[in-house]
Structure 1
């Protein structure tokens, strides 16, 4: 691995030379260090996939110099163009329908492609000189922290992975900033898949015979009761609630009960437009995260890949999924791999407007 300072005079020509040869370049951005190869070169893309290791079919975004270059690789609708004009360059990934001009493994399985225009002068100059997009994935290997320095990168990569790196552009230790916001513009309205700093949010199962609640408060109380029942399990495995029911049945009210049990002060609302919302909790000196997911607006199961749900399935973490019947198979696959405790909750309207019949079990 060759290391060059970002201030070195010939850094642009050196980086372009390596990219043209199919090499892997670690480069600084306004968020963290990224890993870049020629996104149109299948051999180069295979190299970065080998470096990242456990990608499991996840797509990769690409970095481009400007909207003109972006238009060569994706179909830009008015929603996407509006985001480009308002927020790019900057920490925003805009997903559009791809034109299939990149190497296999870069676009998603549904043919969409994320575009980044980094707000980093050196990288924009490299992109303009190279004339083609490079991958814009973070430089960490799968399931390791995003790197903000060469020291951190070396700490969390093996010797074998380090030999895959051809050039590290060293800009020192970068400020620890959030990852980019990811917005899908393939629908009429922008759909936020990952909330960053930039944009505001928008086998056979057995069932409990069921209970009837007569108010939203009782539904919330049931959620707290179930949380208390499984609290000890939570210390050694993640806890997953699959919430199933029609619109207005009480899925969000159930999630509010989880938040209340965890002593969250934030108002728990259904994350319909942000898809996922994350809360830190500290209950009796036990710390973890409550992940609230709403899959109603997901158009393709592949969009789950962008949410990186695997990272949330850890002991002490609670995951509640509204409209879980829409994505049950991939979520169950993730949860079983993490040895999560799974509770399926089915909610239906009873004989009165406030009455709910609730069954739950594995």
Structure 2
């Protein structure tokens, strides 16, 4: 049995080396897997129009096949090849792309069912990271890409996490340094009369509402099937995660006598052996997944995470914390 040799290339963020990008783009066109940085998290990419290549993403991640993927593009106009784009979607693209906003649109027949999980819609995005943009342009095809980690684990915000999670299942890793946002994109459904939030993420809902008016929030079960990355437990560290929503948690049997790792903006009210303090909600979001991976390697029994305010990036933080803790 032949073991896959993963190639890891360090690339200059603002001026990615053309020879490296060309090699990675050729790998994409050849049906291989390439991990690459976006402004949100690292993605595990394949040719989004190649059913066999797309299925290899699911195999590498251990991802259930009923969990749809996002197609990534280098320009808004390219989306017309795979989806029916309405005026509202075009407006959102004009305002927020490139950036951490994914739009769910009616799909065209060219897209494999493995991308859409058999749905009549497809999720599309244009990332802003220069390495991602260079790769998509050079590949000349939409790149299907979920986060580049084993299913259920914290999303990777640096190349080392990709290598440790799925290094033996990816052909090339483009190491462009740490990502910017640290949480995945916001996903909204723009197929109907109202804009519906399917997944909170790197684009705050308040900014979207400035452009299109009220965004409808739907219950968890109603959105799970329609959005990438919402159907199963995600983001979980290797030790139990508890959420500091009120002070009673510090006296609970789940915490009492345990070796605690803590993450949050406020200082914890008790002494903890390991803690990571962030100076703002944005820094909390940026460092959340890396903090999970750092603390799970320490000599601790549990991680306690501060429950953030439900504004701005805080809505996405709450979503990730709840699912990492196994809560709705």
- Superposition TM-score, scaled by structure 2 size: 0.63
TM-aligned CA deviation for residue 272 of structure 1:
8.4
Question: Which residue number corresponds to residue 82 of structure 1?
Answer: 91
1:73 to 56, 67, 82: 82
Q: Which moved more, 1:136-145 or 1:100-109?
A: 100-109
In 1, Cα distance between the equivalents of 2:133 and 2:153?
Answer: 27
* Structure 1 counterpart SS, 2:197: strand
CA RMSD of aligned residues (A): 2.9
Q: Which residue of 1 aligns with 2:225?
A: 302
1:189 offset after TM fit, Å?
1.7
- Taking a change above 3 Å as real, the CA distance of residues 128 and 9 of structure 1, as seen in their structure-2 partners, is closer
Retained in 2: the 8 A contact 1:93–1:114?
yes
How many Å separate the matches in 1 of 2:135 and 2:215?
38
Report what 1:167 is aligned to. 172
Change (3 A) 1:191 1:170: same
Cα distance in structure 2, aligned partners of 1:40 and 1:63: 12
2:197 paired residue number: 192
Give runs of aligned pairs for residues 102-141 of structure 1, distance below 5 A. 102-141=111-150
Q: Which has the larger radius of gyration?
A: 1
- When you count strand as a share of all residues, which structure comes out higher? 1
State the alpha-carbon separation in 2 of the partners of residues 120 and 301 from structure 1. Answer: 27
Indicate if the aligned counterparts of 2:159 and 2:174 stay in contact, CA closer than 8 A. Answer: no
Q: Which moved more, 1:44-53 or 1:123-132?
A: 123-132
Q: Which of the numbers 3, 14, 19 marks the counterpart of 2:8?
A: 3
2:217 paired with 1:274: yes
Q: Are 2:47 and 1:38 aligned?
A: yes
Quote the residue 2:23 is aligned against: 14
Counterpart secondary structure, 2:77: helix
Cα displacement (A) at 1:131: 1.6
Corresponding residue for residue 248 of structure 2: none
The 3 A distance-change label for structure 1 pair 165 and 88 is same
Q: Secondary structure at the match of 1:123?
A: helix
Tell me the SS of whatever aligns to 2:58: helix
Provide the rounded CA distance (Å) in 2 between the counterparts of 1:45 and 1:187: 28
Distance in 2 between residues matched to 1:95 and 1:174, nearest whole Å = 24
| Aligned 1:197-208 pairs, distance under 5 A | 197-200=202-205
Contact 1:109–1:302, Cα closer than 8 Å, also in 2: no
C-alpha spacing 1:23/1:62, structure 2 compared with 1 (3 Å): same
The count of aligned residue pairs is: 230
User: Would the alpha carbon gap of residues 304 and 120 (structure 1) be closer, same or farther in structure 2, given more than 3 Å must change?
Assistant: closer
Determine the C-alpha separation between the residues in 2 that align with 1:302 and 1:9: 39
State TM-score, norm by structure 1. 0.57
- The question of whether the paired residues in 1 share the 8 Å contact of 2:158 and 2:178 is answered with yes
- In the TM superposition, 1:163-312 aligns within 5 A as 163-175=168-180, 177-200=182-205, 273-275=216-218, 293=219, 298=222, 302-303=225-226, 306-308=229-231, 310-311=233-234
Unaligned runs of 5+ in 2: 1-5, 246-325
1:46 Cα deviation from its structure 2 partner: 1.5
Contact 1:180 1:198 in 2 (8 A): yes
Q: Which runs of 5+ in 1 are unaligned?
A: 203-270, 276-292, 319-337, 341-362
Q: Which moved more, 1:300-309 or 1:71-80?
A: 300-309
Q: Which aligned pairs between 1:87-102 and structure 2 lie closer than 5 A?
A: 87-102=96-111
